[in-house]
């Protein structure tokens, strides 16, 4: 590991791989972490074409690269590719962080921990004993369920447009006391302490069909997406009187901070980085 003062050594190289990748905020975030913690490193963004993932990782590793973040659509492929997986990567079925260590390629997943830390540390939204509704049952939701369950909420309901996927995902975690899956109509008139939108609906400006009765004046609503403007889900939550309405920018920075910690052994202070990324949106 090179430090700020090894002027002759080549900086340790890291990168994020995905497709598309040009709009990735990860290089900006990791450069800010490196400055803040006085670590000397390079972090780049690498666009990888379909079918080219293994080759791209092999090339990066052969050139001396120390670690990778993996984003859409390669997280599952990365899971298959690595030699070893952390417990949270196993649970997530996806890898977003790779470390190359003594010839071994180790996969981890920091998305769930990023979400939980953003909620608890940055927004004072605790999960213990809470009734939680998660919208969506794709990879984004699978990735966060393990760390969320570890906080001991009283229940998590996964609601999805395709009900079968929610049922399958809930069953996989085998926590019938705490976790169940359903379609949107089955949400009925229950209200929740926390509603998390993990669907891809916000990307298209769509709103998942959640009854407004799911929101009480104590409900926190969180969209895993973020943008310059509030998402349609966030606008809906505000309109129906949610106590707090949050976007996923903090989760993005927190998952990056956990990757940085895995690689460098130092935990950056995320608050100023969240503020600067927000200002640059």
Q: Is 199 in the site for ligand ATR (CB under 6 A)?
A: yes
Q: Does 148 engage in binding with ligand ATR (CB under 6 A)?
A: no
**Least distance between ligand ATR and beta carbon 137 (Å):** 5
The token pair that represents 219 in the structure block: 């409900």
Candidate residues 27, 52, 126, 139; the one interacting with ligand ATR per rule CB under 6 A: 139
In the complex, least distance from residue 140 CB atom to ligand ATR, rounded to whole angstroms: 3
Dist CA 87 CA 107 (whole Å): 10
Site for ligand ATR in 201-220 (CB under 6 A): 201, 206, 208
- Stretch near ligand ATR under the rule CB under 6 A, chosen from 20-28, 83-91, 113-121, 134-142: 134-142
Nearer to ligand ATR, 200 or 262 (CB): 200
Longest dimension (CA), the chain: 64
**Which of these ranges, 4-12, 22-30, 117-125, 194-202, lies near ligand ATR under the rule CB under 6 A?**
194-202
The rounded distance, in Å, linking the Cα atoms of 153 and 132 is 7
**CB nearer ligand ATR, residue 109 or residue 160:** 160
Q: Distance between CA 227 and CA 231 in Å, rounded?
A: 7
200 binding ligand ATR? (CB under 6 A): yes
| Residue 244 within binding range of ligand ATR, rule CB under 6 A | no
- Is 75 marked active-site? yes
- How far is it, in rounded angstroms, from Cα 101 to Cα 111? 21
Which whole-number Å values give the CA distances from 106 to 55, 68, 69, 81, 152, in the listed order? 17, 10, 12, 9, 28
How far apart are alpha carbons 9 and 164 in whole angstroms? 53
Helix then strand then coil, % of the chain, to nearest 5: 40, 25, 35
Q: Which of these is catalytic: 10, 25, 66, 75? A: 75
Q: Smaller CB distance to ligand ATR: residue 168 or 191?
A: 168
Tell me how far, at minimum, the Cβ of 198 lies from ligand ATR, in Å.
Answer: 6
Nearer CB in complex with ligand ATR: 34/157: 157
Tokens, residue 18: 């995905």
The answer to whether the beta carbons of residues 200 and 135 sit under 8 Å apart is: no
- Round to whole Å and give the CA distance between 121 and 124: 6
Q: Per-residue contact track with ligand ATR, 152 to 191, x per CB under 6 A?
A: --------xxx--x--------------------------
* Contact call for residue 107 and ligand ATR (CB under 6 A): no
Total site size for ligand ATR, rule CB under 6 A: 14
Rounded to an integer, what distance in angstroms lies between the CA atom of residue 73 and that of residue 18?
6
Collapsed DSSP state (helix, strand, coil) of residue 179: strand
* C-alpha of 54 from chain center: 23
Q: Which residues are catalytic?
A: 75
Q: Which residues bind to ligand ATR, rule: CB under 6 A? A: 136-140, 160-162, 165, 199-201, 206, 208
């Amino acid at each position: 590991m090179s430090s700020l003062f090894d002027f002759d050594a080549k900086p340790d190289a890291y990168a994020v791989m995905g497709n598309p990748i040009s709009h990735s905020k990860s290089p900006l975030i990791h450069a800010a972490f490196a400055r803040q913690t006085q670590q000397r490193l390079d972090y780049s963004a690498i666009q990888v074409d379909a079918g080219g993932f293994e080759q791209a990782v092999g090339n990066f590793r052969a050139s001396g690269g120390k670690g990778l973040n993996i984003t859409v659509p390669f997280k599952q492929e990365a899971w298959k590719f690595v030699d070893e997986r952390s417990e949270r990567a196993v649970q997530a079925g996806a890898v977003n962080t790779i470390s190359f260590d003594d010839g071994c390629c180790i996969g981890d997943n920091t998305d769930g921990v990023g979400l939980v830390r953003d909620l608890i540390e940055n927004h004072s939204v605790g999960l213990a004993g809470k009734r939680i509704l998660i919208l969506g049952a794709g990879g984004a939701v699978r990735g966060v369920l393990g760390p969320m369950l570890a906080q001991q909420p009283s229940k998590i309901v996964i609601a999805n447009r395709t009900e079968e996927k929610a049922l399958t995902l809930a069953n996989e975690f085998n926590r019938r006391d705490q976790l169940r899956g359903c379609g949107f109509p089955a949400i009925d008139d229950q209200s929740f302490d926390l509603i998390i939108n993990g669907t891809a609906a916000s990307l298209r400006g769509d709103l998942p069909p959640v009854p407004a009765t799911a929101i009480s004046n104590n409900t926190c609503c969180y969209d895993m997406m973020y943008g310059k403007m509030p998402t349609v889900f966030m606008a809906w939550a505000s309109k129906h009187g949610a106590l707090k309405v949050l976007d996923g920018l903090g989760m993005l920075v927190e998952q990056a901070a956990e990757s940085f910690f895995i690689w460098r052994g130092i935990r950056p202070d995320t608050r100023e980085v969240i503020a600067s990324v927000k200002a640059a949106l």
